[in-house]
Structure 1
């Protein structure tokens, strides 16, 4: 009795042979997708396509710069792979403000700090977001500038020139008043 022979080769195997004949590796070599630092990619190509489509995503704390999806056709990528750039949090500046005010900054972005009136900059005025998510150089401070002749304020008329705000003037007057009371008590 003759035996029936079953074909067990799936259609996909046949398609693979056809693909090799129609698109040899020399013309369609997109098997190696460009990798990126601080991110990953996923091949989202359709099964019956002669193009490779890759989608990129960044790790947490990084921002994608460039096209999130690139395509390879005839061994050529549509564009370079994107980059994942570090994100720095907004620097906290007391008694000053930032040239660009937002919650996060991208790696290599520069920010200039401006101190409020009456305050001076301690350290560098311009800082840069670095690859390790920190600011370089260190975030500066705005410190109160003591004007010449304000070290010991005795006359109330000079208080507004020497102190940054009304609350500080009130406090200085209270301290001065107490010092006069103490002086008077010592004389008795």
Structure 2
């Protein structure tokens, strides 16, 4: 190890010795770390002075930054040092410049990026006003780059005069936006178009000026028709008449007509003759029943009725049905309504003799009861023998009558039934 004191040739202070010792040890490493720096880049800053154009900066060089165009310093230092290829941090702070808002009387302003540096302001005027100046301005480094425009009220030139009309009224050389002028046609003339015009935002009156027309419609001619009501000549614009057809004619078209601007009627009706056609009809007389009409009612064909035939009486729904008559059978004689009903007779039974109408009625006999004998009229009431005889009489009389009638019918065969011939009383007994 080399003695520092011998190298220097004298006795050196202790601090200097340490520095020399460290330099001898770190010399090669320190030379290796001493590098140049690349050009420093800051988004909101830029270099000042002679360093603006340089691309490489030696180790240990100090440079200064300032806020870039459109930005303002908010404090701090812009100095930075190249240390072994790296720039130290500066304390300078920058923010984008704000131009402030703009005001447009009778108009509106729109901003692309607020009111800061680089933003674009677009101007437009309200309806009835026209822009004077630039339509757009840009926020620069210190202010808006240009003069703020203005909105002026729209002016319209005087509209033209109209033939046969009074106006425009009021009469001026220039009219402000939304001003209105009016026209009036002379006597016997009708205005065609709008009587009022308005100064619009494009500096012109709208709509177009009107015209004045002489409107006269000729008297309507409707063959086989006549005027019912309405105006009388002369027929001017909007005159209204109503026509009707004569008897026997029918109108086709609109009978009410209006005189139009082109001096013609709004419609031309016609009265056409009514043609009456007749067709033969057949009248039939049929009984009718009032029934309510119903989406299920069906129509049935009605046959004509022979006027010479007997009337058909309504049928009682509760009566028994009438069966057809066999033409080969014996005729049925009419029955005396005062006579007793004739019951069917068993041809094998004994004939039944006619009953004396003056005799007592014969009551039906209970087959389970004892036979009843004829009653002795001389017996006293309550006599059992007499009662038995009377009961026998009541039983035998109907039997004898039935046998007599059966024999009579058997003898006559299939002859038709006739009223029974009364027999003498002695034969009945």
TM-score (norm 1): 0.46
In our comparison, the structure showing a higher alpha carbon Rg is: 2
Which of 1 and 2 has higher RCO (CA within 8 Å, sep 6+)?
Answer: 1
Structure with the higher strand share, 1 or 2 = 1
Higher helix share: 1
